[in-house]
Amino acid sequence: MGANVSTRRSGRDRSATVVLLAALLTGPGIAQESEKSRLDGFGPPAGVAAPAATDYDPIQVPSGGRPLVVARFDAVPRQLRAAIERAKCNVTESLMAKYPVLIFRPADGRSVMAVAPCLSATPDSRAFLFERSVEQEPTPMTFPVVALAGGISASSRPGLMTWEPRTMTLTAWIGSDTCPAREIRHTYRQGGGDLNGFALSRIEHRRLRCTTPEAEWRTLWQSPAWNLQP
């Protein structure tokens, strides 16, 4: 009989040990980890990156060819700023205070474009075209210019550019930091050209004097009225 009692007691001890181990294995730490694993199943799939931050700024230009005037570099839309830096156009706050960045649509149905001043011996400009969308980085524009050796060439640096919405003309001035010297002015008319609607209409020049008044502009070339009828 003593042996039976000892056997039953040993069996109860083993049962108690099993219950204790089960309690420890299902304690708060394991339960929380199990719950975390269950919830993790509802998270984003492994390897899926978070959405990229917006890398452009909204651009809204006035109607009628009027430009959006930006006089501070930190206010230039990021997509345009990237294009300016890529073109190695050195823009300073003092330069923009005098020659602000202009963003405009030259005419209905044309793409938005921008003109930015660049610091050099004499200020010049770069023009950029938003070909597909104002949310994307614009591309540099190239303009026809006079070739000093004769004829017409092309350049992405036609001079310091100004936009006149009333006459729908874009003017590029090439000056000099010395005198006497020669100044050149190109005028591009909006109306039917392939360069976002622009076409070269006039080339002028004048002698830069060392004293005022300045000499008068003289026409070097004037676009004729083409007669292309068959």
Confidence band of 192 (pLDDT split at 50, 70, 90): confident
> Which region holds residue 65: left if phi is over 0, alpha if psi is between -120 and 50, else beta?
left
For 125-153, the pLDDT digits (tens) are 999 999 999 999 999 999 999 998 899 99
The CA distance from 83 to 5, in Å, is: 92
Mean of all residue pLDDT scores within the chain: 82
What average pLDDT score do residues 52-68 get?
Answer: 88
What was the pLDDT predicted at 128? 98
What was the pLDDT predicted at 226? 82
The more confident residue out of 68 and 208 is: 68
The more confident residue out of 17 and 175 is: 175
Residue 56 pLDDT > 50: yes
Confidence band of 210 (pLDDT split at 50, 70, 90): confident
Residue 84 pLDDT > 80: yes
What was the pLDDT predicted at 54? 61
Ranges of each domain in the chain: 2-40, 68-222
